[in-house]
Amino acid sequence: MTTPNTVAPNPGIWSRAAHQARRVWALSKPYYFSDEKWAARGLLAAIVALNLALVYMAVLFNDWNKLFYDSLQDKNQAVFWTQLGRFSYLAFAFIVIAVYKFYLTQLLEMRWRSWMTRTTLQRWLSHQAFYRMELSRVGGSDPALGGTPDNPDQRIAEDINQFTSLTLGLSMGLLNSVVTLASFVGILWGLSGGFAFSAGGSDYNIPGFMVWMALLYCAAGSWITQRIGRPQIPLNFAQQRVEADFRHHMIRVREYSESIALDGGEGVERAQLEGRFGAVLDNYLRLIKAQKNLVWFTSFFGQAAVVFPFVVAAPRFFSGAIQLGELMQISSAFGQVQGALSWFVDSYPSLATWRATTDRLTSFEASLAQMQAPNRPTPSHASAQKPNELRAQNLQVALPGGVALLAHTALLAHAGDRVLLQGPSGAGKSTLFRALAGIWPFASGEVARPAHAMFIPQRPYFPNGQLRDALAYPELPTRYSDVQLRRALEDALLPDLADQLDQWNTWGQKLSGGEQQRLALARVFLKQPQWVFADEATSALDAPTEATLYQRLVDLLAARGGGLVSIAHRPGVAAFHTKAWVLEPAASGTGARFEVVEKAL
């Protein structure tokens, strides 16, 4: 941006303002055209009307100022008491309007935030966008570098709240300033009179002198404020990011508390947290220094504005041209015009936060939109020709960095097949599983998998709450009777938990690794799928327990007429499978690191 040589804002300011307005409209428009549009528009119209009413009240108070202070100067007791009575009902009306303006504004903010949060959560949790965004964090957290937005939890929980609050507050403040300016500029013009002076032997008169002085005063103040306060925008953006990083790491300490305690990692975690908190304090110190520079100017600007109209109008008062009431009316009108023109100066800290929040939400929305068109294999949950088989054709799987794991791979498993997926550690067995499940974004090709299938990940997820919720997840536990829930736990060799269905706990932390794996298998026994895809589902179990549970799993799938695909390294597990898909180094020229070779067991 080039440095302006006048007090008028340069085109760069207007360009940035227009860009910000387009982004704010893109974020705001969906709500005001949603299924809640009439309630939203009605509340917004009511808030606008109340803001206009407050401006009208300010005009009435300005008129009251003249009459009241003239009565003091004239020692007119009758007018004095009349104006005090008038003030009482003006004040009452002002209070009622202010209260309902506050209430309806907060109500609209709440409804808007609620709608945006629900909509954003729905998009974030659709098409595995939450999972794909984490995988896509190749370029870091800056979307300009090819990465995805950081800390989506903060953007949904905090940024949406700030956006709705600041958008309503700033837009209503701007409307109030514009209407106030339109209402009082004529009053101030009529009250201020002309400014006569001589220069070069000629006489000049500037009509509405106070209006021109207010314009010059506020234009200079706005330009200086923009120059001083501009560094706050990137600092506000960075502050939101480092605060979220600090909170996120504390959450991870909670999630992995047992592992950290067993490793004796408290010192490392403390150092990590102190480092992140140091980044919070370091950026915050830079931010408050930038704010301090702005407060220096805005404080001077505000204090000077108090006496400025008296200084300019004093000669007319002492000459007897105007009375005390008119002087006070001029001061009030000048204050209203100056306040309206100073909206940018007074609102700059909020504008800086609003700009940073809008930037974060815009990048998050862009990332969500990108996730709506995933480049991944689309599994067919019920093939018309052969609904009870797993088939992959021309399957190509890569790592997030672009390294190809598999190229032009074909896989086929029929009902009754029990396939063991083998290969060296790090070969991509779990990645192939994710591609077969249809959630791996760095894969292409055609995948059709059976309709009634369950995947058991290496780290099963258990929601905090009642045990019945963790067992039935992601279904509601009301779908199953207590008898079914207890039988599933007993089949998974967890009889001690059968009487704890209504107990609330953090099951992912309370249960040992082996118990968590057995609880994941209890889900399978509860839901009775035809096919199961198990990724190291029994790695934390002893060999006899593993053999018992695998036999029960095989019996279940045989009775259901389905099949099994497992990843496992223990030799004993191979006995429960009929064939193996082995990941072996691919021949040169294929462009991939591995190929799948089928072998009988």
The string of DSSP letters for 471-515 reads HHTTS-GGGS-HHHHHHHHHHTT-GGGTT-TT-EE-HHHHS-HHH
Long-range Cβ contacts of 589-592 (<8 Å, 24+ apart): 590/407, 590/408, 591/404, 591/407, 592/396, 592/404, 592/405, 592/406, 592/407
Pair 422, 583: CB distance under 8 Å: yes
Domain boundaries, the chain: 15-371, 389-600
541 φ, ψ (degrees, to nearest 5): -100, 155
HEC sequence for 124-192:
HCCCCHHHHHHHCHHHCCCHHHCCCCCCHHHHHHHHHHHHHHHHHHHHHHHHHHHHHHHHHHHHHHHHH
Angle at alpha carbon of residue 432, lines to 427 and 433, rounded to 5°: 120
Radius of gyration for the chain, computed over Cα atoms and rounded to the nearest angstrom: 35
pLDDT at res. 1: 35
Contacts of residue 151, Cβ cutoff 8 Å, sequence gap at least 6: 141, 241, 244, 245, 248
pLDDT at res. 9: 43
CATH 1.20.1560.10 fits 15-371, yes or no: yes
Least Cα distance to 550 among 542, 84, 246 occurs for 542
pLDDT at res. 233: 76
- Within the chain, how many helices (H) and strands (E) appear? 18, 13
Pair 284, 240: CB distance under 8 Å: no
pLDDT at res. 140: 46
pLDDT at res. 378: 46
Pair 54, 94: CB distance under 8 Å: yes
pLDDT at res. 204: 64
pLDDT at res. 127: 76
Of the options 3.20.20.60, 2.60.40.650, 3.90.1720.10, 3.40.50.300, the CATH number for the domain spanning 389-600: 3.40.50.300
pLDDT at res. 417: 93
pLDDT at res. 314: 72
Q: How many residues does the chain have?
A: 601
Long-range Cβ contacts of 88-92 (<8 Å, 24+ apart): 90/57, 90/60, 90/61, 90/64
- Both ends of the chain: CA-CA distance in Å? 71
Structure tokens at 569: 């390294």
Residue 2 CB-density burial (10 A; 0-12 exposed, 13-18 middle, 19+ buried): exposed
pLDDT at res. 346: 76
pLDDT at res. 497: 92
Residue 201 CB-density burial (10 A; 0-12 exposed, 13-18 middle, 19+ buried): exposed
Q: Can you list the residues of the chain whose pLDDT is less than 50?
A: 1-11, 138-146, 374-385
Helix (H, G, I), strand (E, B) or coil at 538: coil
522 φ, ψ (degrees, to nearest 5): -60, -35
